[in-house]
A and B are shown apart, each in its own frame.
Chain A
Amino acid sequence: MTSVTLPPSAAPGLQGPQKKRTKTAITARSWQGWLFVAPGLLGLVLFIIVPLVGSLALGFFKYSLLGGGQFTGFDNFIHLVHDPLFINSVVVTTIFVVAYTPLNIMLSLAMALWLNTRLVGKTWLRVIFLIPALSPMVANAAVFRLLLQKDGAMNGALAGIGIGPIPWLSNGSWALGAIILVSLWQSFGYNMIVLGAGLDSVNPDLLAAARIDGAGAFRRFRSVTLPLLSPALFFTSVLTVIGAWQVFIQAYIITGGGPGQSTTTIMMYLYQSGFTYDQLGYASAMAAILFIIIAITTLIQVWGQKKWVFYD
């Protein structure tokens, strides 16, 4: 419900006491509003804003967890630009984002479309495909590390159909490919559920009308389903890209960043710098750069949505 406050000129007789009461009401309502958002706001400030600002500030220090800090200005950021390991980590992560995001969206969409048909037991299948997303990434990664060894189960299975052995963990390109595949397996289920919900909300009358107009299955998908699904696709793509820039556990557990630097992602190098080499200031500068990269990518996606996302 919304209240309408008449301007003083429109209701001169009510100008005095009514004006006072309205002001009081708005103030009280405003106070209540702040009260309701306070828990969330408090969490946001304590767990997001303060650490973010603290992390950014640390980026300007040479900071050791044990030895304390020393202000060094922009030294960490300048060093980062010239650090071949950091530049390599940006390249590796970019390859991961570029390969993983479209694969994830396409696989999730394909699965969502398949499960949107008159399939027997599709509810159970949805649950089964969601299980990897619900299970702990660390445990999954540890299992995949064993499966992907040269004499592991994966190559054993591929040998059965005359393929391999594939050097999953001893060749840089294959290792990054393995990280992408494991990440896909782990997380496509979540996007599948979101896109499935989007498909469920597509008005069947529109599809029926398109069919009557003579549109084939592909045309109906391209011209009706896809535009109506675009808000869900936008949502999943934004979250998937953000998650992809922060990929860490898969590389940390499965490959340790190797062979060479082929799977050392930004987060992996950040972790190594901060907690293995005790260079917290340098790691914080890296975190700031990663934050900027993610913010720019997200902004581009948000601006770009005007061209392809349709809201009812």
Chain B
Amino acid sequence: MITPKPKVYGRTDRASRQHRISRRVRAVVAATLSVGLAAAALAGCAGGASSGTSGGASSGTSGMNGKTVKMFTWVGNPDEEAQWTAYIDGGKLEDPALSVEFSGPAIGSYYTKLPTQLKGSDAPCIITLQNGQLEPYASALEPLDSYMTKAGIKASDYDPSMITQLSNGGKVYALPYDAEPMVLFYNKSMFAAAGVPAPTVHWTTNDFVTAAKKTTKGNVYGFALGQGIGPVGNFLAANDEEYVSKDGKADLTSPALQKRLQWFINLATVEKVSRPLEASGGQFPDIDQFSNSQAAMLINGTWDMAHEAKAIGANNLGVAVIPSDNGTPHGSIAGTGFAMTKSCGDKAAAFNAISAMTSAKSQQAVAKSRSQVPARADSLDAWKSSTGAEPAAVVKILTENGRVGVSATNGDKINTLFTQYEVNGFSGKSTAAQILQDVRNGVGQ
């Protein structure tokens, strides 16, 4: 069968075929580009809509979703999700129209992802910062002093140690929602089974080691060791010792640090009351051990109470002071605050959300529902009435003897190297002195 060729005047067959192909290609490309551009335009419109519809200019909607304030925080598990929901619900007691949405990674990667979020085209309006974490991010945050003055909020309403830790250059950058001492959690039934009496608020280091020995059985250890320099720092703080100066300089030659690190390592290698630390990309093997009843004791902040109560049973969870050599415990106060980003499109709404979530009404509600120690003095009674006598007594003495923890300016690098090198102590390859020397070499000290 012969297919008639279309007539093309003034061209050879090959040239006309090429011309037709060329035309088809152009048509296809034009159509594709049109569809692509249309899709891009639609995507752009959709993006604009999802960033908020209340404003006009894009700068007015950055970090907002309509009238909802976007918050970037750590949301690593359902318990943390419940915590943020509790603060938002608490804020609604102060401002019923409050609308905040939150998202974020687990705490382990939160500070790694935070800079990218803050530099992104749709940075959140609110972020959360723990004590000691403000300094690197201060340049991307809005000082809150003028907003506080305008709203009649005084810094003195909040725990002074937390306000100090959430301030930079004399300016307040975040308002705290909790001010929680580091405490020692213990498993009551394990203590009872081993015939160990409940710890008192004057527990000594010797009492602690004795209890740990008695509760160690097979693969269940008396005490869960945490990774990094923080867990060693807890024992330093309990003994009123410090290796970081007030200007943030870490002294890695500190005899106190070396002594406590060696003692910490000996818990596993000499006393055999702890599982030796191994190299791991994981963050909190100690919490996992305690929550799974693989260890009788754990050191963490009171913010972990709700989670541990759920894991091992509220009636089974005991709270004690971190032991000290002379039985006079010193609390290391830690906590978190809400900060506002400079790029926030609606700063008034963001500050309103922060003040509502840190208001007395909110903190009292959360103190009752989640046992978190509030950062406001006027909310402490609500916490004491909702938690038992034991945690209240522990927090009282730790707060009275509380000390403001100072973070080293190059704390991230020190902690990373410390985490890597301390494993050599547990394997017997290095002493505490060698580990600290290795860390010093790494940070160039």
B161 within 8 A of A: no
The reply to whether B423 and A260 contact each other, CB–CB distance below 8 Å, is yes
A21 within 8 A of B: yes
Number of residues in A with C-beta < 8 Å to the partner? Answer: 42
Those of A45-87 within 8 Å (CB) of chain B:
65-67, 84-85
- List residues of chain B with CB within 8 A of the CB of A254: 279-281
A145 within 8 A of B: yes
Chain B 116-143 interface 0/1 with A at a Cβ cutoff of 8 Å (1 = within): 1011000000000000000011011000
Those of B1-19 within 8 Å (CB) of chain A:
12, 14-15, 18-19
Chain B 402-416 interface 0/1 with A at a Cβ cutoff of 8 Å (1 = within): 000000001011001
Binds A, one of B21-29, B66-74, B79-87: B21-29
A275 within 8 A of B: yes
Q: Which residue of A lies closest to B29 (CB)?
A: A35
The reply to whether B413 and A170 contact each other, CB–CB distance below 8 Å, is no
B77 within 8 A of A: no
- List residues of chain B with CB within 8 A of the CB of A272: 416
Chain B contact surface mostly: helix
B419 within 8 A of A: yes
User: Which residues does B use to contact A, with CB under 8 Å?
Assistant: 12, 14-15, 18-19, 21-22, 25, 29, 112, 115-116, 118-119, 136-137, 139-140, 219, 276, 278-282, 410, 412-413, 416, 419-421, 423-424, 426-427, 429, 438, 441-442
- List residues of chain B with CB within 8 A of the CB of A278: 115, 136
- List residues of chain A with CB within 8 A of the CB of B442: 84-85, 261
The reply to whether B15 and A25 contact each other, CB–CB distance below 8 Å, is yes
C-alpha spacing A25/B136, complex, angstroms = 61
A74 to chain B, nearest CB (A): 19
C-alpha spacing A260/B439, complex, angstroms = 9
A94 within 8 A of B: no
A211 within 8 A of B: no
Q: Which residue of B lies closest to A171 (CB)?
A: B427
C-alpha spacing A171/B14, complex, angstroms = 72
C-alpha spacing A277/B281, complex, angstroms = 17
- List residues of chain B with CB within 8 A of the CB of A259: 278-279, 420-421, 423-424, 427, 429
The reply to whether A256 and B281 contact each other, CB–CB distance below 8 Å, is yes
A-B residue pair count with CB separations less than 8 angstroms: 108
- List residues of chain B with CB within 8 A of the CB of A171: 427, 429
Q: A170 with B416: in contact, given A66-B115, A260-B438 (CB under 8 Å)?
A: no
A107 to chain B, nearest CB (A): 25
The reply to whether A145 and B423 contact each other, CB–CB distance below 8 Å, is no
The reply to whether B421 and A260 contact each other, CB–CB distance below 8 Å, is yes
A67 to chain B, nearest CB (A): 6
C-alpha spacing A260/B423, complex, angstroms = 7
- List residues of chain A with CB within 8 A of the CB of B116: 65
The reply to whether A66 and B118 contact each other, CB–CB distance below 8 Å, is yes
C-alpha spacing A170/B429, complex, angstroms = 10
A31 within 8 A of B: yes
Q: Which residue of B lies closest to A83 (CB)?
A: B444
Contact among A3, A141, A277 for B412, CB-based, below 8 A? A277
A189 within 8 A of B: no
C-alpha spacing A112/B219, complex, angstroms = 43
The reply to whether B281 and A169 contact each other, CB–CB distance below 8 Å, is no
C-alpha spacing A252/B219, complex, angstroms = 27
C-alpha spacing A259/B163, complex, angstroms = 37
C-alpha spacing A32/B22, complex, angstroms = 7
B90 to chain A, nearest CB (A): 30
19 pairs, CB–CB < 8 Å, chain A vs chain B: A24-B15, A28-B18, A28-B19, A35-B25, A35-B29, A65-B116, A66-B119, A145-B281, A169-B423, A170-B427, A171-B429, A175-B279, A257-B416, A258-B280, A258-B421, A259-B278, A259-B279, A259-B427, A276-B416
The reply to whether B278 and A150 contact each other, CB–CB distance below 8 Å, is yes
The reply to whether B219 and A151 contact each other, CB–CB distance below 8 Å, is yes
Contact among B21, B119, B280, B416 for A32, CB-based, below 8 A? B21
Give 14 A-B pairs besides A25-B14, A32-B22 with Cβ atoms closer than 8 angstroms.
A29-B18, A31-B22, A141-B281, A171-B427, A252-B281, A253-B281, A254-B280, A255-B281, A256-B419, A259-B423, A260-B423, A261-B420, A275-B112, A276-B413
